[in-house]
Amino acid sequence: MKKLKSYEIRQMWLDFFKSKGHDIMPSASLVPVNDPTLLWINAGVAPLKKFFDGREIPKNRRMVNAQKSIRTNDIDNVGKTARHHTFFEMLGNFSIGDYFREEALTWAIEILTSEKWFGFDINKLYFTIYPDDTASLNKWLELGVPKSHIIKLEGNFWEIGEGPCGPDTEIFYDRGVKYDPQNLGITMLENDIENDRYIEIWNIVFSQFNAKAGVERSEYKELPSKNIDTGMGLERMACIMQEVETNYDTDLFLPVINEVEKLTGVKYTGQMAFKVIADHIRSVTFAVSDGAMLSNEGRGYVLRRILRRAVRYGKKLGMNEPFMYKLVVIVANYMSNYYPYLLDTASSVAKIIKLEEEKFLLTLETGEKKLLDYINNTNDKVIPKEIAFLLYDTFGFPLELTLEVAAEYDFTVDEKGFKEELNKQKELSRNARSDDQSMNSQNKAMMDFTMNSEFIGYQYLKTKAEVIAIFKDGEKVDKANGDCLLVFNKTVFYAESGGQIGDIGYIKINDEIKKVVNTIKLPNSQHASLVQLGNLTIEVGDILEISVDTEFRSDVCCNHSATHLLNEALRKVLGKHVIQQGSSVTNKTLRFDFNNFTFPTKEEILAVEKMVNEEIAKKQAVVIKEMPIGEAKKMDVQAVFGEKYGDVVRVVDMSFSKELCGGTHVCNTGDIQRFAILSIESKGSGIFRIEATTNNNVVEELDKVLANVNQEIGDLENKMTSLIATAKKEGIDLEYHKEKFIDGGLSYQAVIEKAVEVAALREQAKELDKTYNKLKKNKNCLLIDNYLDMVYNVKGYNILVLSLENEEIDITKDLVDRLSDRLEKSIVFIADILLDKVIFICKNKIDGLQAGLLVKEAAIMTKGNGGGRNDFAQAGGKDISLVGKALERVQEIIGNKL
């Protein structure tokens, strides 16, 4: 086995598969582009899903990559184990309907065992296969794998939801008995026992079936296009080939660990804190460099959690001031041989991380103050789960620090309850998280259609063309009527792609004219137009006149060219960190998503709009050229991060803006005439969306904005005023927090100012609502003793019956839960009196009492109904004037039953 540095392993992998006819695909951005199913790019195959499910056929059906990835589902294990990471690189080779098992396994043995490549001893490799996969068994044997090194496991079948799936084979490297003190041998593989001896280095998936809900696996149909999807962890390979104990002892982590030693003065001897910091700084550096932002939601929340976890572990090494930001340049330097852009982003990333560290250290101080407030105002010597979790969730105060502070004052902490609350939160997050790796089902008819269709729509908007294919209800047919897709030997219709809407227009045959209502791109890149034929029948071979709706195309061109100008204006006004995060161009409006550190100010948005209009006024010629991608890069062109470009690219040059783009554009920026921003909003995680329009649409779209914006501004201001008033009655001061979020003095003069104002107010209302709920939760937690003072005792049982006014149901339920948790042998019954109704909630831990019957009795007395289980129930009433009598009746029933 060769002893290689990590960058040598990566390059050897790419070189090997390039020699087998694979195209090297660049590593996609960690922030998924146009894929709402993923929070992060989390595997080598993730950016290639469109090829695997048949939506698009790649230029080369053989591809290889080294894909940066983030996974956080096991974040608590990072640092504890030798191989868990949040950031990692996945080496992958892929075949889309080209080679299959024969070549995949042959090449696996070659790259692993050949002296020219990795040079592993085949006798140190073990292979797991799916029990029914006799083809892989026979192939491994044919390639010289000892039969005793092949293990059949039911788990060797890759399947996530409906769509492509299939058996897989995993390859393990045996590090020897040194890592097997009990000498268990391959029983650890057979029984799936976590161990440090047999290290999984490669998984090869044979994507050959189409999974379908309700169908037995043995009945899955074969895919029309069988694919190969593989993944090899670079960090694991480095650990093995550098012959070190753990991944953290490789050259992928040691530069950071060595720097942390210098910063802390602590010698690294395997401490978990060093490992956490070394892993997490890689995640944050790459993610922020790729356009992700730290925030309180979505991927921004995940990123903030990763950074804060590292800062907490830094405190264990004596770091009580910002230090993570100093490690960014270390990561950038040693990873720049494959990711050179890190050197360009290092400075801005370090600034972002430093600000976040400072904020978190201040938060820790606030959390400690809140904890001491509770300790000093209670007679109970136990920190309840709700306080511990509130500190953790709201103030970022870790449980370990809560335990330390509590111990100093002879308090204990309800750790079990805290973990229950944490698990509840994890389950909610898991259910809300988009992290779907499943793929769409393949359409065989469209994938098999390979006839050439030439797009001439850049130069012409009208032509005569022959129908070469018809698709009806997903099937290829010889003739059709009604709604169907027509493919022509040459077409003027632009197919929807790159965020630009598909063309509409007309077809004409025998003096009959029918509408083209959309144009899409087929898997093999032909443009197919959706035509409403009605009773007219069209056959393959028919000659038609086809024409684009010129007004529609002109409006689309104006909006698309304006999108390019907007992109560059944002970068000039806000900074070079701005990266396009998505776009949509229609004939009416354009929508542009971008990242930024903060919500853009009114002045910044106005400056952007002004800059775009100035460029329009300059009437610059729009020059469009095709050229080799290397030549284009020398022009400093902008490209969509994560998009895959061919060897020859199309450059749209407006002088002010230069971008790679395949869309349709104006001939001169002056053709756009006018540009107006209609709205701006936050999409979360540091992503913002601008909607704008151009040319003749400006007046119409601005009228729509004016019709709605004043009403929304009034509604939002009323909502915040009402919230502040409600909070004041509850002893919660939100005035300070309103001032904190509101940028006073917003002008009502221009539409763009109104658009910015309403966007700012939306954010203010959202933040104010969040703050209110946090403060209220905090207040309720700290004042729980007030409710406990209302408990009375009957024959050794704790009884609590009370009413609240205008409380949110979720908060009332939470209060019932927490009170019940604090009271042994108890029943808690709360009436939540709202404006025109009452909600009864009961939690019971006393044998002989039934929560369902109690809430039902109270509900009937207040002219409502309901019920539930013996241990928990909820019901509603309509007459709030009878609540007092209902509660007296509940207490009477409880007394009689006991």
CA distances 374 to 33, 377, 381, Å, are 46, 5, 11
C-alpha separations of 733 from 319, 371, 775, 851 in Å: 35, 20, 9, 36
Q: Which residues pair with 546 in a beta bridge?
A: 463, 507
Distance CA 782, CA 74 (A): 32
Q: Provide the pLDDT confidence category of residue 439 given band limits of 50, 70 and 90.
A: low
**How many beta carbons lie within 10 A of that of residue 752, not counting itself?**
23
Residue 732 gets which letter from DSSP?
-
* E-strand stretches of 622-667: 623-628, 648-653, 658-660
Judge whether residue 95 has pLDDT over 90.
yes
Give percent of the chain above pLDDT 90: 58
> DSSP letter at 412?
E
Model confidence at 741: pLDDT above 50 = no
Output the pLDDT for position 399. 84
Q: Is the Cβ–Cβ distance between 303 and 311 less than 8 Å?
A: no
pLDDT for the residue numbered 757: 61
SS3 169: strand
**Is 179's pLDDT higher than 70?**
yes
Contact 191, 409 (CB under 8 A): no
| pLDDT band at residue 413 using 50, 70 and 90 as cut-offs | very high
Please tell me the distance from the alpha carbon of residue 227 to that of residue 74, in angstroms, as a whole number: 29
Higher-pLDDT residue of 798, 783: 798
Q: What is the DSSP string of 611-630?
A: HHHHHHHTT-B-EEEEEEHH
Task: Read off the pLDDT of each residue in 810-821 and give the average, rounded to a whole number.
Answer: 83
Comparing CA positions, the residue from 769, 780, 781, 709 lying closest to residue 737 is: 769
* DSSP per-residue letters across 243-256: T-SSGGGSTTTHHH
Among residues 494, 437, 440, 498, the alpha carbon closest in space to that of 643 is found at: 498
**873 has a pLDDT exceeding 60:** yes
The reported pLDDT for the residue numbered 749 is 37
Share above pLDDT 70 across residues of the chain, in percent, rounded to a whole number:
88
Query: Confidence band (pLDDT; 50, 70, 90) for 751?
Result: low
> If pLDDT is split at 50, 70 and 90, which confidence band does 699 have?
confident
Q: What is the mean pLDDT of residues 802-817?
A: 83
What Å distances lie between residue 362 and 313, 359, 691, 776, 852, CA to CA? Answer: 16, 5, 37, 21, 47
Whether the predicted pLDDT of 597 surpasses 90: no
298-304 long-range Cβ contacts below 8 angstroms, 24+ apart: 298/39, 298/684, 298/685, 299/31, 299/39, 299/40, 299/685, 300/684, 300/685, 300/686, 301/685, 302/39, 302/40, 302/72, 304/356
**Is 449 in a helix, a strand, or coil?**
coil
- Identify which has the larger pLDDT, 274 or 897: 274
- Mean pLDDT over the full length of the chain: 87
Q: How far is Cα of residue 400 from the mean position of the Cα atoms in its chain?
A: 29
pLDDT for 731 equals 65
Average pLDDT, integer, range 718-726: 73
pLDDT at 425 over 80: no
Among 421-435, 593-607, 635-649, the least confident range: 421-435
Euclidean distance between CA atoms 673 and 676, whole angstroms: 10
Give all strands (DSSP E) within 195-338, no chain letters. 198-211, 221-233
pLDDT of residue 767: 67
pLDDT > 50? residue 559: yes
What pLDDT was estimated at residue 716? Answer: 67
Here the tokens at position 105 are 């396994």
**What number is the average pLDDT over the span 110-120?**
97
pLDDT score of 201: 96
Position 737 pLDDT exceeds 60: no
Q: Compare 768 and 30 and report the one with higher pLDDT.
A: 30
User: What pLDDT is attached to residue 683?
Assistant: 77
Cα angle vertex 734, ends 733, 738, to 5°? 150
Average pLDDT over residues 667-690: 87
Mean pLDDT across 252-271? 96
Centre a 10 Å sphere on the Cβ of residue 549 and count the other Cβ atoms it contains. Answer: 18
CB atoms within 10 A of CB 786: 9
Question: What separation in angstroms does the CA of 629 have from each of 60, 341, 637, 644, 664?
Answer: 17, 17, 10, 11, 19
pLDDT score, position 753? 61
pLDDT of the residue at 437: 47
Phi, psi of 775 (to 5 degrees): -65, -40
Give mean pLDDT, residues 491-517. 94
In terms of residues, how long is the chain?
Answer: 898
Has this prediction a pTM greater than 0.75?
no
User: Is residue 745 scored above 50 in pLDDT?
Assistant: no
pLDDT value for 56: 82
Pairing of strands 648-653, 658-660: antiparallel
The CA distances from residue 204 to 62, 134, 548, 781, in Å, are: 15, 15, 47, 52
